[in-house]
Amino acid sequence: MRGYGQFCSVAQALEVLGERWTLLVVRELIEGSSRFNELLRGVPLMSRTLLSQRLKTLESCGVVERRKGEGGAPEYHLTEAGRDLQPIVSSIGIWGQRWAHRELTRDDLDPTLLMWDMQRRLDVDALPERRTVVQFWFRDMPASKNRFWLRLDKPDVELCLHNPGRDVDLKVETKCRTMVDVWMGHRELRAALRAREITLDGPRRLQRAFADWLLLSYFAPAGRAQAEAGRLSGRA
């Protein structure tokens, strides 16, 4: 992008970070994605061409390092400069929780993205000991993308878009909107379970464990604080 023609360090930083998508790519890297297609799944509306460009720019700016991983597959990792962006991305997210929380439209409620996010935020230690398949069913989504499966095989987690062909151990049924609200910390998971807006079907043991291994978004604590403040001030 053409720069800002300013010596101010905010402007200098924004010449690197300010372009469309860039900070979301950084967010994905912070969250632990490192392969090209992994990154792409985290920003599904971004074209591969554009992701490629942005990664190149970030590399030349010293924010990202491209290196060969195991098997020679390319991987992208944050440099020290990139890791230093973590508090910035984090505070932007917290600000967004508080002030940019517009009503989510249908377009924002992408269940695939939600599942992708969830899949990498599981408490592996709290997972069931045995191989387990959990099915999610989002009633408010078109049939083409309303069913997902998590194959939990400690410590591995795999997200499947089609039935993995094993018996399902636990079924989770809810609306995508509800699950997103919970994920973002705007609703309590246990409250939604009690209200039966999220229903579980399977052995009691797996039902009870569910709320333990399903971690929420990094921003859920801020969302909860926000919801709480709203309730106290009567805006809830």
Partner DNA sequence: CGGTATCCCCCGCGATACTG
Partner DNA sequence: CAGTATCGCGGGGGATACCG
Using CB distances below 5 to 8 A depending on partner kind, what does residue 63 bind out of its own copies, DNA, none? its own copies
Angle at the Cα of 170 (from 168 to 174), degrees rounded to 5? Answer: 115
User: Taking the complex as a whole, how short is the minimal distance between the CB of residue 65 and DNA, in angstroms?
Assistant: 12
Scanning 23-31, 41-49, 161-169, 200-208 for contacts with DNA by CB under 7 A, the matching segment is 41-49
Using CB under 7 A, which of the segments 13-21, 92-100, 176-184, 207-215 binds DNA? 13-21
Q: Do residues 208 and 172 touch, judged by C-beta distance below 8 A?
A: no
Q: Least distance (Å) from DNA to the CB of residue 52?
A: 3
Residue with tokens 């996010």: 117
Residues 6+ apart with CB under 8 A from 66: 55, 59, 74, 75, 76
Region 45-104 residues binding DNA, contact defined as CB under 7 A: 45-50, 52, 56, 66, 73-74, 76
How far is Cα 15 from Cα 57, in angstroms, rounded to an integer? Answer: 11
Distance CA(201)–CA(227), nearest Å, equals 29
Are the C-beta atoms of residues 75 and 66 closer than 8 Å to each other? yes
Amino acid at 81: A
Q: Which residues bind its own copies (CB under 8 A)?
A: 1, 3-18, 20-21, 23-24, 27, 43-45, 61-63, 81, 84-85, 87-89, 91-102, 104, 107-110, 113-114, 117, 180, 183-184, 217, 219, 222-223
Q: Are 228 and 185 within 8 A, CB to CB?
A: no
**Nearest CB to DNA, comparing residues 148 and 183:** 148
Q: Quick check: 17 binds DNA (CB under 7 A)?
A: no
Nearest CA to 226 out of 178, 183, 186, 180 is that of 186
For DNA, which residue of 19, 140, 197, 201 counts as binding (CB under 7 A)?
19
How many residues bind to DNA according to rule CB under 7 A? 21
* 188 three-class SS: coil
Q: Provide the pairing of β-strand 132-138 with 170-174.
A: parallel
| Closer residue to its own copies, CB minimum distance, 62 or 69 | 62
Contacted entry of DNA, its own copies, none for residue 47, CB cut-off 5 to 8 Å set by kind:
DNA
Residues forming the site for DNA (CB under 7 A): 1-2, 19-21, 35-38, 45-50, 52, 56, 66, 73-74, 76
